[in-house]
């Protein structure tokens, strides 16, 4: 891994931790290389649906995040990527434990990338996703200016309070 890729890895891990979705779901970037990423999620009560298994949308969001990061790492640093299509098969129900999404870029062109993702618990393949990501042409992620940081921090504070309230109500 090059020095620039190491810097990008740290930046991505921080961004995952700081996004509202990343905090709410509890996504953790476990490993990342050019064209691949592994995300993990420790199952919590607020991930469960009415039948007390992890909601499919949570698993899909985990796969989508891993796929987006794998795609991002296959492009010049700062290039925007966005999901344009996702197909997922849910193969097994997950009640507890940790799930990992392992995403690999199958093919990357100038404008699109096709990504495969396996989601597993400790013993089983629980979901399989195939995604297509658009690759921005020279668009870069917004820089973290002082103004953006303070606005993000204020927004994060409100969201954290809401997330904590949900967590407490689910216990």
CA atoms of 27 and 62, how far apart (whole Å): 7
Contact between residue 16 and residue 27 where contact means Cβ atoms under 8 Å apart? yes
| Total structural domains within the chain | 1
**With the CA atoms of 80, 84, 90 and 96 taken in that order, what torsion angle do they form, in degrees rounded to the nearest 10?**
30
Instruction: List the chain pLDDT tens, one digit each, 171 residues.
Output: 678 777 878 888 888 888 888 888 999 999 999 999 999 999 999 999 999 999 999 999 999 999 999 999 999 878 999 999 999 999 999 999 999 999 999 999 999 999 999 999 999 999 999 999 999 975 455 554 445 555 555 555 565 565 555 545 444
For 79, the domain range is 3-170
Specify the CATH number for the domain of residue 34: 3.10.129.10
pLDDT of 152: 54
Query: How many helices (H) and strands (E) would you count in the chain?
Result: 4, 6
Q: Would the pTM count as exceeding 0.85?
A: no
pLDDT of 145: 46
């Amino acid at each position: 891994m090059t020095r620039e890729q190491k810097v990008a890895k740290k930046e991505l891990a921080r961004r995952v931790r700081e996004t509202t979705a990343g905090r709410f779901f509890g996504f953790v970037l476990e490993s990342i290389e050019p064209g691949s990423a592994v995300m993990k999620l420790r199952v919590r009560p607020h991930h469960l649906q009415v039948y007390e298994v992890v909601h499919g949308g949570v698993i899909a969001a985990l796969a989508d995040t891993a796929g987006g990061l794998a795609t991002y790492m296959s492009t010049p640093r700062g290039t925007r990527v966005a999901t344009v299509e996702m197909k997922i098969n849910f193969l097994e129900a997950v009640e507890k434990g940790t799930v990992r999404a392992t995403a690999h870029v199958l093919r990357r062109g100038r404008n699109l990338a096709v990504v495969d993702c396996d989601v597993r618990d400790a013993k089983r393949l629980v979901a399989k996703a195939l995604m297509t990501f658009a690759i921005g042409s020279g668009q870069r992620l917004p820089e973290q200016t002082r103004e953006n940081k303070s606005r993000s921090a204020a927004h994060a504070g409100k969201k954290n309070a809401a997330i904590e309230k949900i967590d407490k109500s689910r216990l």
